[in-house]
Amino acid sequence: MLYRKYGKTNETVSALGFGCMRLPIIDNDSTKIDEEKAIKMIRYAIDNGVNYIDTAYPYHGTGMGFGGQSEPFVAKALKDGYREKIKLATKLPSWLIKSREDMDKYLNEQLNRLETDSIDFYLVHALESKVWENLKALGISDFLDSAKKDGRIKHAGFSFHDKLSVFKEIVDYYDWEFCQIQYNYLDENHQAGTEGLKYAASKGLGVAVMEPLRGGKIVRNLPSDVKAAFEGAEIKRTPADWALRWVLNHPEVSVVLSGMNIMENVVQNIATASEVAPNSMTEAEVAVVDDVKAIFKSRLKNNCTACGYCMPCPAGVNIPGNFTVYNEYNLFYSKETEDELKKRYVSIKNSGAASKCVQCGKCESHCPQEIKIREDLKKVKAIFE
């Protein structure tokens, strides 16, 4: 495993971090983590050099308003001496904060859930303009200062989902030591993007990258022309390998977080992160990814990564499910495959169909990708219903 300096924290972190948002589950129920499989995966990763474990308050839960199962599970996975081998990251549920006291309440609850006295990397979660203005007014700076002073957290950072201008304003507001942004070869100009990545690094912040595989969208069920672009390269690599290499090639990136849910992913990603140094890709390799980017950008109609922040929907719409089928339809559509692709919508139609949308807009206020969910659900309805 290769390691990198994590900005002003002066900590050294593995190039690959284990994201605990998409762990293996039982019965397709996100609240039922397959603990036996997941513990083996996490401990294998740690035994092979991964020292950054990332979780958050709502992960593997029923919605953004509730504590999920990820934090308590991580506590179990890090027993038997594994806690001492890693740096632990979790996040303040910023959207739930109504007072200065709430900040301490949730942090203390998370310390209990994680069965630890101190959190190495504590992030203010999913910052966007409205939440950020609320946190500033309630005293987020004082909270972070006091939590560092009394040892409950060691380093303060934030994760981000908004426009570049908002990102820069947040970076400049507080003496952050690190941040977490979405970044992959399709999101160079999305949210913080490349400019934000470079801006944060120029200010001395370590940068953790989430969604390097765009929720798996750029590695699974690829269009034939994308496959051909990869297969035509002189060096043979998996799509995941290409995507991770592209992110790791950036010297401003400190750690790449991958939400791995099968052991094969863990093994492959460790192998990649163990050999890719910053600026190590050749011009020919970069050109392969550039060709793939162009193909994808001509096909994608919706930026959903199935993060689930829009759920639960008050009207019962399965928003990520609708958009998964919608994107597959646009990515793989042909006259020959149209009927087959439409059949994939049957299970969605019987449960959380797009036509159930009542246009309340609650989902859009939580969407990190700023998707016009209501408009796109109308398009889904027109195609499939």
**DSSP secondary structure, 234-292, as one string:** SS---HHHHHHHHHHT-TT--EEEE---SHHHHHHHHHHHTT--TT---HHHHHHHHHH
Closest to 286 measured CA to CA, from 252, 210, 235, 331: 235
**pLDDT value for 143:** 98
Task: Enter the DSSP assignment of 311.
Answer: P
Q: Which two tokens stand for residue 70?
A: 């990820």
Residue whose entry in the numeric block shows the structure tokens 């090639």: 249
Question: Which residues are CB-contacts of 340 (< 8 A; sequence separation ≥ 6)?
Answer: none
Residue whose entry in the numeric block shows the structure tokens 């994107």: 327
**pLDDT value for 303:** 82
What's the pTM value of the predicted model, to 2 decimals? Answer: 0.83
**pLDDT value for 299:** 80
d(CA 17, CA 317): 32
**pLDDT value for 147:** 98
Alpha helix (H) residue ranges in the chain: 35-47, 70-77, 100-114, 129-138, 140-149, 164-173, 193-202, 224-231, 239-248, 263-273, 283-297, 319-332, 338-343, 346-351, 362-366, 373-384
119, β-bridge pairs: 153
Helix (H, G, I), strand (E, B) or coil at 368: coil
Sign, Cα dihedral of 350, 355, 356, 362 = positive
**pLDDT value for 332:** 67
**pLDDT value for 205:** 98
d(CA 59, CA 55): 7
Closest to 253 measured CA to CA, from 218, 283, 277: 277
The residue type at 226: V
Q: Which two tokens stand for residue 20?
A: 């605990």
Which segments in the chain show pLDDT lower than 70? 332, 334
